[in-house]
Amino acid sequence: MGKYLVMIYDDEAKWAADDGSVAEQNHKNHQAFVEANGSTVRGGGQLDGSETATSIRSDGNGGYVVTDGVFAETKEVMGGYYVIEAADLDEALAIAKQVPSPMGGVEVRPLVNGG
């Protein structure tokens, strides 16, 4: 058994173009996903938009540089996540395939030492 982080990556421009109907259905789909996979879902949440992101980089001299914005600029940004528990990658991928991500997709990564 190990824990995997499922990161949901979305194209925010597509969400901005939505009249609310996709978002509403998506919300229901997430609830259904969590219900269907109850015991394997160990945590998760929806992130606020990338415009709310603040990044902190170490300056290499014991100090920090705080900047507005996401850590890496890409078209798709992380919009939410789940922590799931699975026996192996095949099982983790089978669960991750059910994660609703209508405006993008998901990335799956194991937590080191089983989390």
Partner 1 sequence: MAAAHATEWAAVLAATARVAADLDLAEDCVQDAYAKALVHWREQGVPGRPGAWLTTVATRRALEHRRRADVVRRKLPLLIPVEDAVDETFPDDRLRLVFTCCHPALSQEARIALTLRLVCGLSSAEIARVFLVKEATMQARITRAKQKISRTGIPYRIPRLTDLPERIDAVLDVIHLVYTAGYTANDTASRRGLDLARMIRLLLPESSEAAGLLALLLLTEARRPAQVDGQLVLMEDQDRSLWDHALIAEALELVPGAVGPAGRFGLMAAIAAVHAEAARWEDTDWPEILGLYDVLLAKWPSPVVALNRVVALSYVAGPAAALEQLPDDPALATYPYLASTRAELLRRLGRTQEARAAYEEALAFTTNPTEADFLQKRAQL
| Residues near partner 1 (CB under 8 A) | 2, 86-90, 92-94, 109-110, 112-114
Q: Residue 48 to residues 12, 54, 94, 111: CA-CA distances in angstroms?
A: 11, 12, 27, 23
Work out how close the CB of 96 gets to partner 1 at its nearest, in angstroms, rounded to a whole number. Answer: 11
Work out how close the CB of 68 gets to partner 1 at its nearest, in angstroms, rounded to a whole number. Answer: 34
CA–CA separation, 42 and 5 (whole Å): 10
Work out how close the CB of 26 gets to partner 1 at its nearest, in angstroms, rounded to a whole number. Answer: 25
Q: Give me the residues paired with residue 8 across strands.
A: 80, 106
Which residue, 72 or 112, is less far from partner 1 as judged by CB? 112
Which residue, 11 or 115, is less far from partner 1 as judged by CB? 115
Which residue, 56 or 111, is less far from partner 1 as judged by CB? 111
Q: Residue 64 to residues 56, 58, 60, 67: CA-CA distances in angstroms?
A: 6, 5, 8, 10
